């Protein structure tokens, strides 16, 4: 017997009321060019964007999350992801922001009961997306779907030397150019959060030789690839991580003639060091570590690599036409005689199609939205040189963020208002730790950033808040609670 979602939603309403959430709006209402100015615009309404929107709404700020995807199809879960279940353990509280009734477990048990929860191994991928849709609905989060942000124009602050009049009244604002239903419009916000996901500041990372191959011969694991078209083909999958297994399994299930996993390292990674490092201290303390420790930790995790989940690996190996080639690095490929002649460190192999499960990289060119600010943004290699032996291209290209998750300018760059853009996506991990997107600490990142933004907005408007305090006139007592009397006669 389950209580059902309606009962859970009633309990959630109680919990929110007990916590006095959301707080009433306290920031000044503003307009620019006849349009409302948002306290915060969030780009992306995936799991992280939703958690951040909820944390901001709970703190009484005006916020809208814009997502180019159709409603309910944000992020990878119901689009490009191909695993059967989530990779992370089911118990994680995810985007629940410390509210028990907002957890996946509460949502699941309300519908299927405790015994089903106990029997559940990992969370089915599409069920996670269903949960995120419920999360958005039940919190009534302000999301606009089908809205793609195509340009970001930060404007300088009057206080920091930019003349308020001279900047046409745009002082302290960020202009977002947005495309929706084939039309362009402008939105204004005081702060912008980039919650744009795993490839949030770039896109797929593929070897240079792939770019020279016909696009019909290869895909990246995150592409919207038609796996049915791989039926009867010899497919190579490059990589050894979770996405490599998901792509290989999907190709096999779609009827590929054979799938060859080309894995450079001599063994599959077996231990998830990042998981082992996770504890409340790591989540709260990482951002305060000196650069040397941040780099050392992230580089170590990169080198060790995250193992593919056991169930994903078995999903591949149960097919007799799956071939694991360990210690085999791909070196190049050309199209020849209607197939791909692929060179590897172990010799040539003929394939029909290649899937690169080779991860993502920071690559500003793949994100036209940031073309204007990219040349100004300081990245780690601009100011940090790692010790010999710890060189790491991925880390070197990561943005060097400040404590408010804000982009910081390169030496000599003039980009007023850059610090009004806050990065809450995977490339922020080197600067801020694991709070920037994955399920284990997504609530921590959302809460921390929302609290920081509340503080920044308050400080910016201190004169307004002071004036409000001065005119505030709600009496606590009315003068009728006591009667004044003369002092009694003095007794010697």
Ligand X SMILES: Cc1cc2nc3c(=O)[nH]c(=O)nc-3n(C[C@H](O)[C@H](O)[C@H](O)COP(=O)(O)OP(=O)(O)OC[C@H]3O[C@@H](n4cnc5c(N)ncnc54)[C@H](O)[C@@H]3O)c2cc1C
Q: Out of 12, 39, 59, 68, point to the residue binding ligand X (CB under 6 A).
A: 68
Q: Is 42 in the site for ligand X (CB under 6 A)?
A: no
Report the residue number, 49 or 433, with the smaller CB distance to ligand X: 49
Instruction: Tell me if 47 contacts ligand X by CB under 6 A.
Output: yes
CB of 309 to ligand X, least distance (A): 8
The region of 377-385, 435-443, 448-456, 481-489 touching ligand X under the rule CB under 6 A is 435-443
Examine residue 197 and tell whether it contacts ligand X (CB under 6 A): yes
Residue 319 touching ligand X (CB under 6 A): no
Judged by DSSP in three states, 377 sits in strand
Percentage helix, strand, coil for the chain under 3-state DSSP, each rounded to 5: 35, 20, 45
Regarding 373 and contact with ligand X (CB under 6 A), the answer is no
Could you give the angle at the alpha carbon of 188 between the alpha carbons of 368 and 35, nearest 5°?
Answer: 135
Please pick, from the candidates 27, 48, 344, 448, the single residue that binds ligand X as defined by CB under 6 A: 48
Bridge partners for 194 per DSSP: 43, 423
The answer to whether residue 454 forms part of the interface with ligand X (CB under 6 A) is no
| Site membership for ligand X, residue 374 (CB under 6 A) | no
Q: Is 369 in the site for ligand X (CB under 6 A)?
A: yes
Helix (H, G, I), strand (E, B) or coil at 365: helix
Q: Contact between 11 and ligand X (CB under 6 A)?
A: no
Q: Verify binding: residue 308, ligand X, rule CB under 6 A.
A: no
Helix (H, G, I), strand (E, B) or coil at 41: strand
- Which of 12, 39, 42, 44 binds ligand X (CB under 6 A)? It is 44
Site for ligand X in 75-134 (CB under 6 A): 75-76, 81, 86-88
The bridge status of strand 347-351 relative to strand 353-356 is unpaired
What is the smallest separation between the CB atom of 374 and ligand X, expressed in angstroms?
14
Q: Which is nearer to ligand X, 99 or 149 (by Cβ)? A: 149
Rounded CA-CA distance 25/36 in Å is 14
395 three-class SS: helix
Contacts of 260 (CB under 8 A, 6+ apart): 234, 235, 236, 237, 323, 325, 349, 351
- Terminal CA-CA length for the chain: 80
Q: Are 177 and 188 in contact (CB under 8 A)?
A: no
| Total residues in contact with ligand X, by rule CB under 6 A | 30
Q: According to the binding rule CB under 6 A, does residue 247 interact with ligand X?
A: no
Sort 351 into a burial class: Cβ within 10 Å, 0-12 / 13-18 / 19+. buried
Question: For residues 372 and 154, what is the distance between their CA atoms, to the nearest angstrom?
Answer: 9
Under the binding rule (CB under 6 A), the answer on residue 196 touching ligand X is: yes
Rounded to an integer, what is the distance from CA 11 to the centroid of its chain? 28
Residue of 101, 302, 344, 425 that binds ligand X (CB under 6 A): 425
Nearer to ligand X by Cβ, of 242 and 349: the residue is 242
Residues near ligand X (CB under 6 A) = 43-44, 46-49, 66-69, 74-76, 81, 86-88, 148-149, 195-198, 243, 369, 425, 437-440
């Amino acid at each position: 017997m389950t209580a059902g979602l309606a009962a859970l939603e009633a309990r959630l309403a109680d919990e929110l009321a007990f916590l006095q959430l959301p707080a009433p709006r306290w920031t000044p209402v503003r307009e620019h060019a006849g349009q409302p100015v948002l306290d915060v615009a969030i780009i992306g309404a995936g799991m992280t964007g939703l958690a951040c929107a909820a944390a901001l709404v709970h703190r009484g700020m005006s916020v809208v999350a814009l997502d180019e995807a159709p409603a309910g199809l944000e992020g990878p879960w119901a689009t490009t992801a191909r695993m059967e279940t989530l990779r992370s353990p089911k118990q994680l509280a995810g985007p629940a922001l410390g509210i028990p009734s907002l957890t996946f477990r509460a949502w699941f048990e309300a519908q299927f009961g405790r015994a089903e929860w106990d029997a559940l191994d990992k969370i089915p991928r599409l069920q996670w997306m269903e949960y995120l849709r419920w999360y958005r609905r039940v919190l009534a989060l302000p999301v606009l779907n089908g809205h793609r942000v195509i340009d970001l124009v930060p404007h300088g602050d009057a206080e920091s030397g930019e003349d308020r009049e001279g900047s046409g009244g745009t002082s302290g604002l960020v202009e977002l150019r947005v495309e929706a239903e084939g039309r362009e419009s402008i939105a204004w916000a005081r702060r912008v959060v980039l919650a744009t996901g795993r490839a949030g500041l770039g896109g797929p990372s593929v070897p240079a030789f792939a770019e020279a191959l016909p696009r019909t011969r290869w895909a990246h694991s995150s592409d919207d690839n038609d796996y049915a078209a791989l039926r009867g083909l010899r497919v190579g999958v490059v990589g050894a991580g979770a996405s490599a297994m998901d792509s290989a399994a999907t190709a096999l299930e779609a009827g590929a003639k054979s799938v060859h996993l080309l894995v450079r390292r001599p063994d599959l990674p077996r231990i998830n060091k990042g998981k082992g490092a996770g504890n409340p201290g790591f989540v709260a303390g990482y951002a305060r570590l000196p650069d040397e420790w941040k780099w050392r930790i992230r580089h170590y995790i990169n080198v060790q690599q995250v193992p593919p989940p056991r169930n994903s690996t078995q999903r591949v190996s149960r097919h007799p036409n799956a071939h694991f080639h360990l210690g085999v690095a791909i070196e190049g490929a050309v199209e020849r005689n209607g197939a791909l002649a692929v060179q590897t460190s172990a010799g040539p192999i003929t394939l029909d199609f290649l899937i690169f499960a080779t991860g993502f990289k920071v690559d500003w060119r793949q994100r036209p939205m940031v073309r204007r600010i990219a040349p100004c943004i300081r990245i780690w290699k601009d100011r940090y040189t790692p010790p010999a032996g710890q060189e790491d291209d991925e880390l070197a290209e990561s943005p060097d963020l400040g404590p408010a998750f804000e982009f910081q300018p390169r030496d000599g760059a003039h980009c007023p208002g850059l610090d009004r853009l806050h990065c809450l996506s995977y490339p922020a991990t080197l600067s801020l730790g694991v709070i920037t997107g994955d399920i284990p600490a997504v609530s921590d990142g959302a809460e921390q950033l929302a609290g920081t933004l509340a503080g920044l907005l308050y400080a910016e408007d201190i004169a307004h808040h002071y004036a409000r305090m001065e005119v505030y006139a709600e009496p606590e007592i009315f003068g009728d609670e006591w009667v004044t009397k003369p002092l009694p006669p003095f007794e010697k």
